[in-house]
Amino acid sequence: MSIGQTLQPLVDLIFPPRCPLCGDGIGTQTGLCTPCWATLAVPGEPACTACCRPFGEPALEGATCAPCLKDPPKHAGIAAATLYNDSSRKLVLAFKHGSRLGLAPMMAGMILPKVRFVDEEWVVVPVPLHRWRLWKRGYNQAAELARHLARGTGGRLCVDALVRRKATPSLGGLGKLARRRALTGVIAIAAARAPQVGGKKVLLVDDVLTSGATSNACVSALRRAGAEKVVIACFARVLDEALDAT
């Protein structure tokens, strides 16, 4: 039994487990109450073979969604634990901006069933933060998720494989082209880590996948470094049309 497991009863006594969404008492420190679990939207099948976008109605097996037909992705799929809605947004904001690092095991645990194909042959890489933002926040939320996913899959964690060369403004409210321009030349492979990525299968980890501009920049950098393929893993994926169908 680990030290954490030994001390857990004491921790629960001092800090009774509470649902991070509604505040009701729960059985463990890393979970939600049953009603709040039900408010999360989990993407399912059928889904696009290229990007795993869930279809809102029955589709042919092996079908590809219209966005991927128009612009084939450079990645090899997206493994999302949830679709971005009010509940997942509250969890992400508490985790990212509220210093609720204790949410990382639960959030990564929800991603884990989607990435069971990952094993020790894979490299687990988080989306990077610029050093100033990392200094201000104190941690990289993507790296915290990546640590737990590497532990759960057996993949090799490489937290500093990617670097963000310069700080960028918030991408919220920007169009697809503007986001792409803002990220041009921003993300690159760390020279010292290139050998660890070349020829490897990579699981790229982030908390939220919005337009895909940041993850696409990361995928491009990893592929230029020789990565065999890159699968994106995230806790929440913004897909309003799929959310409406759900």
Instruction: Give me the sheet containing 229-237, strands edge to edge.
Output: 78-83, 229-237, 201-209, 122-126, 156-157
Per-residue pLDDT tens for 33-83?
A: 999 999 999 998 889 999 999 887 766 677 999 999 999 999 999 999 999
Q: Is the pLDDT of residue 172 over 80?
A: no
Q: Give the number of domains in the chain.
A: 2
| Residue 145 structure tokens | 């998720």
Q: Is the pLDDT of residue 3 over 70?
A: no
Rounded distance between C-alpha atoms, residue 52 and residue 74, angstroms: 13
User: What pLDDT is attached to residue 9?
Assistant: 39
Q: Lowest-pLDDT range, 80-84, 128-132, 165-169, 236-240?
A: 165-169
- Is residue 56 domain-resident? no
Q: Is the pLDDT of residue 228 over 80?
A: yes
Residues 77 and 167 occupy one common structural domain:
yes
| Residue 91 structure tokens | 């969890």
What CATH code is carried by the domain that includes residue 214? 3.40.50.2020
Q: Lowest-pLDDT range, 18-32, 77-91, 181-195?
A: 18-32
- Is residue 137 domain-resident? yes
Domain that holds residue 220: 73-245
Rounded distance between C-alpha atoms, residue 72 and residue 192, angstroms: 30
Whether the CB-CB separation of 143 and 134 falls below 8 Å is answered with no
Higher pLDDT, 120 or 56: 120
- Is residue 49 domain-resident? no
Residues 94 and 145 occupy one common structural domain:
yes
- Is residue 151 domain-resident? yes
Element (H, E) at 180: helix 176-182
